[in-house]
Amino acid sequence: AEWFERRVNEDDRFVLVTPRSAALVCFRLKSGDEATRVLLDRVNEAGEILLSHAAAPGDGAHTIRFVPGSPMTEFRHVARAWAIIAEAAGG
């Protein structure tokens, strides 16, 4: 999750909503709620990975939750998830 968090921080299209907590990374697109919803739907409809959503603390902003916490998760899975998300976001 730490590697994934760094990717989010390095990509100017995204913003972390809260600091990483264990394996939970909460992020959104800087371009707003609708763009974040579209990204979430696009990724989930493709079917290779499944992301969940939540309302951000405070402002209720639409937030994507990425949780690579399974004991079976390997780095390649996290890297692939980031590639899918980055591509779906348009890059």
Sequence-distant (≥ 6) Cβ neighbours of residue 41 within 8 angstroms:
none
Task: With a cut of 70, say whether residue 8 has pLDDT above it.
Answer: yes
pTM: 0.92
Q: CATH number for the domain including 54?
A: 3.90.1150.10
pLDDT, tens only, 33-77: 999 999 999 999 999 999 999 998 888 889 999 999 899 999 999
Q: Quote the tokens at residue 29.
A: 């697109």
Domain count of the chain? 1
State the distance between the two ends of the chain, measured CA to CA, in whole angstroms. 21
- pLDDT of 57 reads 80
User: What average pLDDT is seen over the chain?
Assistant: 95
* Domain of residue 21, residue span: 2-88
What is the DSSP code string of 48-75?
SS--EEEEPTTT--EEEEE----TT--H
